[in-house]
Amino acid sequence: MLRRFSINYAIFSMGSDAVLTFLALTLAVIIRPFLPQFPYLVPVDQIVLSQALYLIIPAVWVMTFLLSSVYDPKRIYKITDEIQTIVIAEAVASLICAGILYLGYREFSRWLFATFVFINTVFILSWRVFLRLGFNFWRSPSRERRVLIVGAGRTGRSVGQMMQDYQWTGLNLVGYLDDDLAKKGDGLPILGGVGSARQVVEKYNIQDVVVALPQRAYGQINKLTVTLHDLPVHVRVVPDYFSLALYRASVDDFGGIPMINLRDPALNEVQRLVKRIFDLFFGIVSVMLLLPILAIISLFIKLDSKGPIVFRQERVGENGRIFNMFKFRTMVPDAEAHREQITEINPENGRILFKKRPDDPRVTRIGRFLRRTSLDELPQLFNVLLGDMSLVGPRPELPWLVDQYEPWQRKRFAVPQGMTGWWQVNGRSDKPLHLHTEDDLYYVQNYSIWMDIYILLKTPWVVLRGKGAY
């Protein structure tokens, strides 16, 4: 049985993509004479292509996909990541083929080329989606991987959750081993202590053992390996870096020595490029369309109270960098001097809590309207164009609040901070600002351009409802 994410699957994918690209080109040639005729395009009754193109184009497509990591299992575990990678690779392959056709086959119809790219994209995406659905509905015992996790602490539970998310790949989490049997009360399937590893592996026919012990228990790893050395199981170790890493870790080759990189960027270079292009395009379009509204709001602010129209405030951006965030002024000019009126002290740890209040005495009359409609946020479009912010991301935080963060909360600065984000469309100001970090981390750990689009589409509905905005 062909296993998902194996070398055999990669070869199968390359062959399927080549065949489907060939079929897409053939189908495009067949249907081209029947397509609507557009101005400036040469009418055709029949199209005959050079036979070489039927080899060149599929080869270009497969090679581009290979270089774009479409066949890399680490890049395509999630369907959103796979679709994103394929769409980008399709665009690159299309540009390369367009260049080849321009240089050597100028008689190739532009309408035919557009039709081919569309059909090919549908073909290549469809077979992957259908195959994933097939894996979800049909799970063969022959491809099942029975997994045992040694350690039911934070690291072990995180690994277990990831395995639950990827059950469709054939992973079957049988249970945990942990010397603290009281963890059974948390609903975890604790099968015994760490010392019973051999018995549990034999009893439950375990094929993969994942060691996820805390740092203080690393001395047990050697003993565990010796205990299992003669059994047909794979033993893998997950380092306990969750309390140290800002986002995710990767294994780097450092002078020939494999090392764990605890500061691996949350966004890879392709994701960062796509996100920046997305921000620039929609930021420029938004500013051009909203210029009349920006002018009207500026006039009302000036007439309502004394002070500047635009309020600048230091915020913490990506990787902890300080920048000036722009907003329409919604408060009296000396609002910062009265900040203690809206802060509270946490009785548990004595830390300052900051929560927006609907009755904030510092807000002006026009300011209440701007906050309720979120129009005060519009000048941040210029922060987006300057590169200080993104359209979507965790909310830029105040430096004095960041000084009170726990280390794990700082993970939210691993990506560009945004005008809107997962937190804003799932609670907004109803939560104290120090508690929205978990929503921000969810965004960081699940980022994709499709998630950005989803958040942007949902934001207007949240703004119109006015829930939590004040």
Each residue of 215-224: pLDDT tens digit?
Answer: 777 678 888 8
Between 151 and 2, whose confidence is greater? 151
Q: What backbone torsions phi and psi does residue 424 show, to the nearest 5 degrees?
A: -65, -35
The pLDDT of residue 457 is 87
Whether 205 shows a pLDDT value over 80: the answer reads: yes
The pLDDT of residue 353 is 53
In this prediction, residues 42-49 reach a mean pLDDT of: 60
Whether 296 shows a pLDDT value over 90: the answer reads: yes
Read off the pTM: 0.52
Between 423 and 24, whose confidence is greater? 24
The pLDDT of residue 17 is 94
Between 340 and 302, whose confidence is greater? 302
The pLDDT of residue 5 is 47
The pLDDT of residue 126 is 92
- Model confidence at 258, pLDDT cuts 50, 70, 90, reads low
Between 346 and 119, whose confidence is greater? 119
pLDDT single digits (tens) 366-389? 888 888 888 889 999 999 999 999
Q: How far apart are CA 137 and CA 457, in angstroms?
A: 31
Q: How far apart are CA 139 and CA 224, in angstroms?
A: 31
Whether 299 shows a pLDDT value over 90: the answer reads: yes
The pLDDT of residue 4 is 44
In this prediction, residues 36-49 reach a mean pLDDT of: 61
Between 131-140, 159-168, 170-179, 304-313, the lowest mean confidence (pLDDT) is in 131-140
pLDDT single digits (tens) 152-194? 888 888 888 888 777 766 788 889 998 887 777 677 888 888 8
Query: What is the CATH class of 144-240?
Result: alpha beta
The pLDDT of residue 395 is 87
Between 80-84, 91-95, 387-391, the lowest mean confidence (pLDDT) is in 80-84
Domain regions of the chain by residue span: 7-137, 144-240, 269-465
Average pLDDT over the chain reads: 79
The pLDDT of residue 326 is 94
The pLDDT of residue 3 is 42
- Model confidence at 434, pLDDT cuts 50, 70, 90, reads very low
In this prediction, residues 71-100 reach a mean pLDDT of: 83
The pLDDT of residue 393 is 92
The pLDDT of residue 284 is 94
Share of the chain above pLDDT 90, in %: 22
The pLDDT of residue 262 is 59
Between 246 and 122, whose confidence is greater? 122
Between 142 and 277, whose confidence is greater? 277
Whether 98 shows a pLDDT value over 80: the answer reads: yes
The pLDDT of residue 40 is 55
